Amino acid sequence: MLSRKDKESVVKRITKDLKEAKSAVFTDYKGLTANEVRDLRNQLRNEGASYEIIKKNLIQLALNEAKIEGDVKSRKGPLALSISKEDEIAPVRIIASFAKEKENLEIVGGVLENSYLSDEKMVALSKLPGKKELLAQAIRSIGAPTGNFVGALRGLMLKFVYVLKSIEDQKA
């Protein structure tokens, strides 16, 4: 059992993490084995996110102190919190993928840009491509018109050369 001082330090740490986080995901992990929780924690750690089992009261206090409107205290069942300071989508995507394999894991809400999101919105967010994929798509879409323009100019230059060649052949 945590002392009052320990609880206060946990709330301060979570509040600070929530304020600095790109995203946070709340999950109901009831029914997962210790090994499954460890596997999930390792997958999240590889993407720069944490996964911690914390009492709902402490999470609620941290949300209140971070001025994020959300109610996790009234939720039934235990809660775990995943926080990412690097990527907005990676933690929710990993958790959603893990939840497909393990039916006992459930996304119950989250935080994105200091706004509380429902479980439906978090699941929808998990279906978006990740940061790296979005950057690759943006670069491709930026480069495509330039590539098309260069190809068109090349085609015009080739036609011009063929016209000059045919004029030369006619005069010869």
130-143 confidence digits (pLDDT tens): 777 778 888 888 87
Which single residue is written with the structure tokens 């030369």? 168
Are 143 and 153 in the same domain?
yes
User: Do 22 and 84 meet the contact criterion of CB atoms below 8 Å apart?
Assistant: yes
* CA distance linking residue 62 with residue 66, whole number of Å: 6
Question: If 0-12 CB within 10 Å is exposed, 13-18 middle and 19+ buried, where does residue 39 land?
Answer: middle
Per the confidence metrics, is the pTM higher than 0.85?
Answer: no
Are 31 and 60 in the same domain?
yes
Are 113 and 43 in the same domain?
yes
pLDDT digits (tens, 9 = 90+) for 32-81: 999 999 999 999 999 899 999 999 999 999 999 999 888 888 888 889 99
Distance of CA 170 to the CA centre of its chain: 65
Q: What is the domain range of residue 152?
A: 129-172
* CA distance linking residue 27 with residue 164, whole number of Å: 71
User: Do 45 and 96 meet the contact criterion of CB atoms below 8 Å apart?
Assistant: no
Q: In total, how many domains does the chain have?
A: 2
